Amino acid sequence: MPAYVIGNVTTLETSDELAEYRRRVGATVARYGGRFLVRGGKVDVLEGGWLPVHLTLMEFPDGGAVRAWLGSPEYQEIAALRTGSVRTELVLLENGD
């Protein structure tokens, strides 16, 4: 059953490292069967006090694929390119049925 990763990204600064991360991350996601469904865009909060900044939505075959991607050597190799420039909150959403 598909699993989804919701990311809220707060950009602290634009950098060459962040540009390199963005260039390379898609290939690491695809290697684990994932794909970006949404990568930024307009956000309208319809209810509540949540204040997302830059949202991403990724789909993977299942939660195991998400965890494998996050822990993979190829993703870990580029993760540091992102962490110096942005703060990211990631949520894994799996069907509870």
Q: Which pLDDT tens digit goes with each residue over 17-58?
A: 888 999 999 999 999 999 999 998 899 999 999 889 889 999
Closest CA to 27 of 85, 90, 72, 87: 72
Q: What is the pLDDT of residue 12?
A: 67
Residue 53 or residue 63, greater confidence? 63
Q: Where are the domains of the chain?
A: 3-44+51-94
List the alpha helices (DSSP H) in 1-97: 16-31, 63-71, 73-83
**Is the predicted pLDDT of residue 94 greater than 70, yes or no?**
yes
CATH number of 3-44+51-94, picked from 3.40.50.1110, 3.40.50.720, 3.30.70.100, 3.40.50.10110: 3.30.70.100
pTM over 0.75: yes
Instruction: Determine the average pLDDT of the residues in 47-70.
Output: 95
The distance between the two most distant Cα atoms of the chain, rounded to a whole number of Å, is 43
